[in-house]
Amino acid sequence: MATEEKLAELPNVISKLQDKCKTLSSLPFRDFKDYINKEKTGIGKLKEHLMIRDLMYAGVYCIYNEKKEIIYVGSAGLSHTLRYRIGDLFFYDENSKRSPFHHTLTYKLKKEFGDIGKVRDYYFEKCRFKIIIADSDAEAHALEHLLILLFGPKYNNETPNQ
């Protein structure tokens, strides 16, 4: 398809993204305790603490603090689904040869709080999240970037030095 034909589709693509973003305020908040087994978060293996049976989709997740401010927006694709990315928040293995973290937000919060236990408590006690399901990996990434531009979440604005 020629460039002009693709560009002619732009208003439809933008309209679809806009409609999905507008649903954010009406989506229910989700609690991490309903998806993660708090008793097993000290274990390095993700599968042992995940209780998530759904969320096997591509999409965007927005993490909110206790003031209902979006502090982080992330995306998930079909290979690393929303289930996987939410679980990544709780992964920490200090003996890992690459990085003890699977998630950038957890890395940033550990630097701030100083202790992985405090980070996990923060997720469980102070944070909630919402998800927007996407039709594809590309749509999830586009939604993520659009929401970051709109809300400017605190923890999306820094680059970690892992």
Q: At residue 48, does pLDDT exceed 70?
A: no
- Buried/exposed code over 39-76 (b: 16+ C-beta within 10 A; e: otherwise): eebeeeebeebbebeebebbbbbbbbeeeeebbbbbbb
pLDDT at res. 46? 47
Query: Average pLDDT for residues 10-19, to the nearest whole number?
Result: 93
Tens digits of residue pLDDT in 66-96: 999 999 999 999 888 888 888 888 877 777 7
Task: Given CATH 3.20.20.150, say whether it is the number of domain 3-156.
Answer: no
Global pTM value = 0.85
| Averaged pLDDT, 45-64 | 72
Q: Which helix (H) or strand (E) holds 122?
A: helix 116-126
Highest mean pLDDT among 30-34, 38-42, 92-96, 122-126: 122-126
CA proximity to 162, closest of 88, 109, 99: 99
Cβ 90 vs Cβ 36: under 8 Å: yes
d(CA 92, CA 158): 20
Mean pLDDT value across residues 40-50: 50
